[in-house]
Each structure stands twice: as C-alpha cells, then as structure tokens.
Structure 1
C-alpha cells in the first residue's frame, strides 16, 4: 500500500473525479446469513462493515435469490434470473430444462451487465472474485463489461489452494482477463481478492476516470476456512450452542431496530438438540462455528484494507459502497463431519476434518443446519429455500458523494434493484430495446435512490408484485406481504401467507384469516410464472440427485469404469443427503 507521502504526490498530480461521477464498489459476500454481521445483530466483529452501516443506509427488508448464480444474474443485470438465462445454478439443472434456451445456467446474450453500461459511459470496470455465470470465453466477465478481472468461475473452491472443493470439478477454474490463471503460493481468498482489487484501481488512478469495482468474495461459502489468528478469537464463544446463539442474535437485532419487537421465531426441524450432544461433539461444533466467524472477520478486515487504500488515495469521499450477500446461510454441512461416511468423503478429496487445524490449510469445514439457524436468526429456512432465511440478506449502501441517508429502512428491495440504482449513481441511462446491435431485455428493477436520498420511504407501491422461483420453492411479494411455498425435505410443499414486516420470522400463517388476499396473490404468482417463463420441474426432481447425475455426466460421460470410481467418491455425500431427507 502506498505511503502517505506517495499518496500526497499522487493527489498533487491527478485531478479527482467529480462528485457527479462517483466511484462505486459492490461487495458481495457468499452464503452470509442475515444476522452474521454486527449491524444486523451478530457477535462477530465486523468494524469495517459496521462503519459503512453507520455512514449509510441499511436495508432490513432486502431480498435476493436463494442460491448464488441466480442472485448474481439479477444483481448484475436488473432482470429476473429466469429471463436472464440463470433459473438455477448450472450444476443442478435437469436435462429436460436445458433443452430450453433460457434455462442454460449461464448469463444470456439478451441482457446487458451493469459493468458493460458503465464501461461504455467512461468508467473503469474491475472484478476480483467468484463469477459462476459461465466459463466459456464469451461468458467470462472480461467479455461482459469488465476491463480487468481475476475470477473463479465455479460455484466454489478452496480458500488456501488452487483445488476444487467438490468432486463435481476436476480443477479449480481461475481466470485472469479470460486466460487460465495460476494462484500465488501465499493465496488466501479474501486477502488475494482485495490485493487484486487495489492493484486494478491503482493501475488507472492517474487518469481521473471513475471506477466500478465488483468484489464477490468466496467467504463464507464452503469450505469454511480462515487464518488461525481469526479462528482463535472465537474459540469458546459458541460453547453454549446454536439455540442460545439464535436467541441472543434475535434480541440484538430487536435492540438495533433491524427487526420489530414482534419478531418471533419458529423452531426448524433440521435443528438438533444441543443438550443431547456429547461434550466432544459440542467442542467440535463450537470450533466449526468459530472458523465460520473467523472467516467473516477476515473478510471484514480485508474490506477495511480497501477502504484504507481509498482514503490514502483521496478517493474514499467520492466512493459509494454497496455491501450485500448472494443468499442466506448454507445449511448442508453434515451434522457430524467426523463420522466414517463423512470423513471418507472429504478424505477422498484430500481434506482432513480434524479438530486441530480445522479451517486452516488442508482442512474441510462447514456449519450444519443447526448453527445455520442461528446464522439467519430470527428468520426461518436457509439457502435454496424461499423462507426469509434463504432470501432475506443484509444490504448496506453508504457513501459521501451523494449525502445518502443514514440509519435503517424497512423499505422492500429486490436483487434486480441494484443495477438501476448503480446506474442512477453514475448518471447512466437504462439501455433501450437494442444494445450494441442486438435486442436486449428491459431492466425491470427499480432505482432505490428516492429511499437512499430520503425522498420516499418505499419504492414499491402496495399493488406492485415481485415473484421468484427456484426448483419449486416460490414466492410472491406484495406490499408488506409474502406468499411462499417451501418444498421438502425442510418444507412441506404448502403455500402460506405472511406479513414479513411485522412477522419476519414467518410464524403466523395468515392464509385462513385473509383468504381474498391469499387467492389474489396466488393468482399473481401464476402471472409471474407465465411472464418470466418459469418451467415446471421434471417428475421426481431432486436438487442433490440432479447435482450428482450432472457431475457424473459432465466429468465421465459414458465411461462406466470411471463412473463407478466417481460414485465411490460421491457416495458419502449422497448418503448424508438421503439420511437428512429421511429424518426430516
């Protein structure tokens, strides 16, 4: 990082960008739960994120898709993910669905990214982090509006080494400006991604043009890993278990005003009885969560490095920061990673799950559904599900250039709103029906500026609806209300109606009390499905079964010998999934 003297020399020789053309930094955490940061009720130390929350506006009613690629598609285009080509992650799409052009799991050519629009308007555009919207040369971010990139193309990867985290992949696919890239030996994902972001910004700082930097972290996606010094800060913090933590976070969220005092909680069927665990199991579970917390703090620390760099360079006061997550907490970690079946699965990939060294290089860590219920407190459900815990996440927007409002807002906001809001900050018009010689879909998200500037307390009128679907889990929002259906194994396949402003924990089903509203919203969801070309699931579809099937087909084709070998590797993961489904 440059010294203060070097910074002074830089400022003396360079013209600062005009406040009407602010820099924009979009920071995306991966699988971060609703209450995983201090401004939303967490015990985890996140001073950088907390400072942004104090200086800006925190949305307590912001929603996104329940898994990563659909969220990223909406976030970067302002268009519903089904129409943008990403109804689900590519790894879970059924062959019957992929027969349709808009169900490919990669970003379609019928949409324009916010990076493309900003680059055309004179912005430098940078990306460092996870992409997961296509790995073909014409689908990588270097071909979708980003001027300089270093990106991990897959759903996830190791945070310490260039290695895959699932047998789904034969390698960790990292690219730099469209070319395959070898990670440095001292790699740790959160540190490396900020190093590259600073490097990109610094490369063009002298020309005075504003920049857009997109930083999609790998934290806290599995494998959950962190430097030892961060893990040690949380050892012992979680010894009381997930139920106590879930209650404590709810109380803090109420005190902070993040949720109303009326926010009650349901007990998830996937949450185990902490009291029945042996002392050894409690110790191990507490360590798993300590690693998770350490990974969050490590991310926050590295965001702070970027903030410090911008301050030294005199760019901080002309930068708008957007911090959010792609979906709620990941809950598919096994209940007992050290069991014979589970340790065999990770062992076959070359990982260990030992208590000593958990989260460090060479280890494979995750949190189970039980601690994930605390991660999303006081909400219900998790990643992949349409309950609030799967789709309601933090959103903080802060920055000096436009004198944004400070505090909290309960205004409903949706993932497609981020792109039009960024374009509004930059003074860039929305694209027309054609862009760069081809037809493109219109942006359907809304500019959040009226709420951010204090001109309005909401963007969506009471009659307006927003729909969403992922593998049969579905939602329609209207005003303060939401209808939702969550499929098995954690859900029951029944539609319900909730007031998610007064009851964010989804504890009081209003469908029988307000039958007219319920029926009208069900009708509204059918309209959403039709207008956004949502396809029905093939009979017997299962996310995990499709994942295994696609993995075998993609990697091994019709080669029976290697398919059998692959099944030996994948079997422990499938056994765990089937066991959880049977128990629930």
Structure 2
C-alpha cells in the first residue's frame, strides 16, 4: 500500500471510530503523562546527544519512539496553546506571548495572547470522557479567573500563570510582574518555604494522582519551569558539571553534533553553521571562561534535576501499580533560550539584577537569590547541531525532542524521522485514549477544528508519514516565519540575528540549514512561497511593524500593564538615564 493510501486509511479509521484499530477498551484506557520542558534545546538530553545525565528520559526513549523531526512554535505560549488544542496558534488566540504583541495587533480577537473560547483543550475532552485531569506547572495562556486551567478542563491544578518565575521562592523574575502569580485549583495560593520548582511540581502531581484511588484513568500535564530563566539548580546537581564546560561553547557544539550523528539523530554527512551571535571563546580571559562554564554547569544541573524528579514520578507509578498502563509524552515548548548575553556581569546588568533583588556572583550562581542565564553562545551549543534558537524560525528554535513511550507504543527504542508538528499531540492523545474529537461544536459552542494528525500509527510503524508530499504546514511568530512541505522548509528570520530574507532548505538531509536551495530550486521556492501566503491569509496572520522588537515590546507592554502609561514614561526615562550613567562611569573608570 502506498504511504498516502495508508495515511488515508488510518485517518478514515480515526474519523469513523475515534481511535485506531488497536483501540483500548473503556476498562483499560491508558493513563497519559504529558511532560513539557521549558526552553530545552534539541540536544539537551542524553538520548539526543547531550553530555547531561538524563537517565529517566533515556529509559523512556529506550522503550519508546524518539522523534527527530518534530517541531513546535519558537516561543512558549503559542506552543502550549497548540499542544493542548491541536489548533493553529493564529486560530486559538495565541499567535505570540501576550507580553510581546504590538499595539497595532491587540484589537484583533485572534491576537489577544490568551487561549480563546473557540477552542477546546484535550483536558476538557478527556474530562468529558471520564478521565481525572491534573496539571502542575506553567500555564501562560491567561490568568483571569475564567482563563486559568481549572476552567479549561483540569480538575486539579497548581499553576504558575506568567512567562516564568523564580525556582526557589514565590518571586517574579522580571519587573513587568508585581508578583509571581501562582494558583491552586483556580485560586491564588502561596508556595511552601522549601519550594524548588521541579521537585514541587512532581510532588503535586503525585498528590493529585493519589487523591483519586479509584480505577478511572488520569491525564497529568506537567509543564516544568526548567530550564527557563532564571536558570537555577540545587548545588549538588550543578557540582556534577562544574568542570564539564571548561573547553567552551565551540567544543560543546561540535561534541554534540558528533554524538547526535553517532546516535542516528541526524544524518552522518550533515553539516552545521556557526551562529553570528556566537563569541570567540579563545579571546575570553581565564576568569570569563570560568564564569561562563559555571553558567552552563547550572543549566546542566537544572536539566539533571528535572530528570531526577521525573524519575521519582515514574518510580511512584510503578510502586502503586499504574506504570504499566501509562503512556508518557515528553517534549519541550521551544528551543534553547539566548537571553542574557555573553556579558552578564556588566555594570548595567548588575544594576538591573540588584533592582530585582538578584545577584549573579560566581560562588552562589544557580542557588536561591541568584539569577543565571546561558546567553547566545551556549544557547547555540544547546541547540546543536541546529541553527538559531528560541524566538527564531530556524530549526534550533523550532525542532525539539519528542519521546512517546509506553506499552501501547513500543517495547524497544525506535527513532522516527518523519515530520511532526505540535498540533499533532492532541489528536495523538485522543486516539490513545479512545476519545472522539469534536467536529464542530463542544459544550454548546462552535469551535475551531483540530488540524493536527495523530502520531499513533506512525509511532507503531504502521505508516511512514502522517503528512503527504502535498501537505504543507505554515508558521509565523513575531515576524519570523516558515512553511514545511515534505522534506523541505522555507524560512525567514528577522534581525538582529537573521537577515529577513526567505531561504529554502532540505531539513531531512540538511537539518543544520547550511545549504540555501532557493537559487537552485526556484520553482520549488515559488510554489512554497505561494503556499505560505495561502496559510497566512487563511489564518489571519498580521505583518509585524517594521521596527518591531519582541524584547522591547515585552518591556513596554509589561511596564504599561503594571504601572500605567504615565508612570511607564517616567520609568523608561529613569532606566535609560541609569544605563547611560552606568556605561559612562564604567568607560570613564576604565580610561587610562
């Protein structure tokens, strides 16, 4: 049977029955644990080429399917909205994080940055189908009472509603927030004094599961804060990597590329580029190298700690007899985060951190009260062997790990290089749980249809692709854009790292996006550009203003929302003057 025919047959079965041929019965429907890391790079776990120790995730990969060509949005909220609904981000109300939407777009209903009422979450569908539904972690899809996950299908929740927050205490990590907004079952809550985010979220998940000892299956969604900034980890995890990164980001990027090839994650003859935002490690002083190596050691420790706590959850499910009937889905919301620069100890940076009650000295980096990032150079290494990172539409921003494991999937490690997209996760969960997808209405209201496709038959090796050569998947976020079709991708990345020009790549043979084929394949380029325009028109994609800068827009929107327009002008004036003074004094002090 031809691949396209097999896809059609599998799709028809799903439409007619709500699940595939091997559908579970009502009595043995599987539990689903959906785990989402935050800002985890493509090669940040060992089974994808990392030096970081991730035995729990590696164990899942060893008995499941690891997808090597899976893509998300390049920023958190749009990914989360598509992950939970199967609907494109421009149709579900979250085309960008709300903090970054320019004022020219904010009057449009599909540009609010909050999960729309015209979509239904997979949690709501599973809850209606008789599942217990739990969430513990970052939401970032709205924080008004009716926008929280407790009102979007989750029966028990502990929720951090913002872009991020401190991992050691209930504290905002950037000044656009007055406080860290945490909610328990839809009500504001206070964190415990011994809080560490990864440990706490797994503790709450275990508590939720144990609170319902009946035989009903459960769906547990665990969106970790790891490894979003501030990058923080318990000292014992950081210490494991304190000497690991002394050779720098160039060496690390090359090491991970070699390991990814050895594991079969990428083609053995593929190449990679050196990002223009990567600094020269050899030009750094010994003290600078030592500090940067510690930054990355904390990052590795944070990944390791997350994996450790995932292992605690797995051990608990085994202990209570629920592991064998549980399917695990693990991924990241986008690629690695380059925020923080490669000079985080500059005077302006330190002033900004002090105003927030943070420090970034070497000795305590990563511990309570410290603020850590890895910057663009190590972010490129975390995304190795791919180009770009978070926010950009390059593979390093969009291609992330995806592991699906459980008895219903496989009993041995398998790699799958078929293209898959974040909107595929909801239909995959629906098929695994024998839950029909709504066609046009849910709860008495008209809803947007699911556009993703189930990966179940692909995971079981029953088909080779879920998307045919004629299918195309469009994408846009903050002016960065892409369209995928078969083995090919057209992509545009704005400045300051990109050139704002469209490029064409074969991302199967060239996942590092090193060979621009637009001149060699002009007909293919033109056809895919036309398809992108169709996608943009159909989904209501708006052009960003010419001077749009996401980081600056976050600051403007956030400070305006917190302080109001008049105080915003005063605050921006003070900040500009303070930075100017710090730079002037710094230069003067260093003058001979």
**TM-score in terms of structure 2 length:** 0.92
Tell me the equivalent position of 1:340: 347
Counterpart secondary structure, 1:525: helix
- The Cα shift of 1:541 comes to 1.6
Structure 2 unaligned blocks of 5 or more: 1-23, 583-592
Using the alignment, how far apart are the partners of 1:225 and 1:405 within structure 2? Answer: 34
2:546 and 2:274 map into 1 onto residues whose CA distance is 30
Q: Which residue of 1 aligns with 2:175?
A: 167
In the alignment, what sits opposite 2:5? Answer: none
Write out per-residue CA displacement over residues 28-61 of structure 1, whole angstroms, 9 at most, x where no aligned residue: 0000000000000000000000000000000000
Match of 2:373 among 366, 373, 383: 366
Partner residue in 2 for 1:376: 383
Deviations 1:59-98 (A, max 9, x none): 0000000000000000000000110000100000011101
1:244 aligns with 2:260: no
Separation (CA, whole Å) in 2 of partners of 1:119 and 1:526:
37
Q: Measure the CA separation in 2 of the matches of 1:467 and 1:558.
A: 36
**2:141 pairs with 1:133:** yes
Answering whether residue 445 of structure 2 is matched by residue 433 of structure 1, we say: no
- Partners of 1:25 and 1:253 in 2: CA distance: 26
Aligned partner of residue 508 in structure 1, secondary structure: coil
Aligned partners of 1:369, 1:50: CA distance in 2, in Å? 27
Please state whether the residue corresponding to 1:316 is helix, strand or coil.
Answer: coil
Distance in 1 (alpha carbons) for counterparts of 2:398 and 2:27: 34
The partner residue of 2:427 within 420, 423, 440 is 420
1:410 aligns with 2:417: yes
Matched, 1:477 2:484: yes
Counterpart Cα distance in 1 of 2:256 and 2:331: 19
**Mapping of residues 159-198 of structure 1, within 5 Å:** 159-198=167-206
How far apart in 2 are the matches of 1:126 and 1:116?
11
- For 1:514 and 1:391, the matched residues in 2 are separated by 24
Between the aligned partners of 1:572 and 1:207, the Cα distance in structure 2 is 59
Confirm whether residue 29 of structure 1 aligns to residue 37 of structure 2.
Answer: yes
Taking structure 1 as reference, are residues 296 and 570 closer, same or farther at Cα in structure 2, changes over 3 Å only?
Answer: farther
Which 5+ residue runs of structure 1 have no aligned equivalent? 1-15, 577-584
Are the counterparts in 1 of residues 175 and 559 from structure 2 also a CA contact under 8 Å? no
1:124 aligned residue:
132
Give 1:335 deviation, angstroms: 1.1
Question: 1: distance between equivalents of 2:581 and 2:31?
Answer: 48
Query: How much is the aligned-residue C-alpha RMSD, in angstroms?
Result: 1.7
The worse-fitting range, judged by mean Cα deviation, of 400-409 and 295-304 is: 400-409
Residue 274 of structure 1 corresponds to 281
**How far apart are 1:547 and its partner, in Å?**
1.3
Please point out which of 29, 44, 54 is paired with 1:46. 54
How many residue pairs end up in the alignment?
Answer: 559
Alignment partner, residue 337 of structure 2: 330
Q: In structure 1, what is the equivalent of residue 404 of structure 2?
A: 397
User: What TM-score, normalized to structure 1?
Assistant: 0.94
C-alpha distance in 1, partners of 2:145/2:345? 40
Match of 2:541 among 534, 555, 559: 534
| Matched residue, 1:10 | none
Contact 2:44-2:382 within 8 A present in 1 as well: yes
Kindly report structure 1 stretches of 4+ aligned residues shifted beyond 6 Å: 16-19, 570-576
Shift of 1:432: 1.9
Contact 2:56 2:308 in 1 (8 A): yes
Q: Which moved more, 1:374-383 or 1:339-348?
A: 339-348
Q: How far apart in 2 are the matches of 1:432 and 1:236?
A: 55
User: Given that residues 43 and 382 in structure 2 are in contact (C-alpha distance below 8 angstroms), is that contact kept between their aligned partners in structure 1?
Assistant: yes
266, 271, 276: which one pairs with 1:264? 271
Matched residue SS, 2:454 = coil
Match of 2:18 in 1: none
Q: Deviations over 1:425-477 (max 9, x none)?
A: 00001112111011001100001111111101211101100000011100000
Alignment check: 8 A CA contact 1:94 1:546 kept: yes
- 2:471 and 2:581 map into 1 onto residues whose CA distance is 44
Helix, strand or coil at the partner of 1:199: helix
Instruction: Report if the CA contact (8 A) 1:20-1:426 is conserved.
Output: no
1:100 paired with 2:140, answer no
* SS of 1:455 mapped into structure 2: coil
Q: Secondary structure at 1:150's aligned position in 2?
A: strand
1:217-255 superposed Cα distances (whole Å, 9 cap, x missing partner): 000000000000000000010000000000000000000
* 2:366 matches 1:354: no
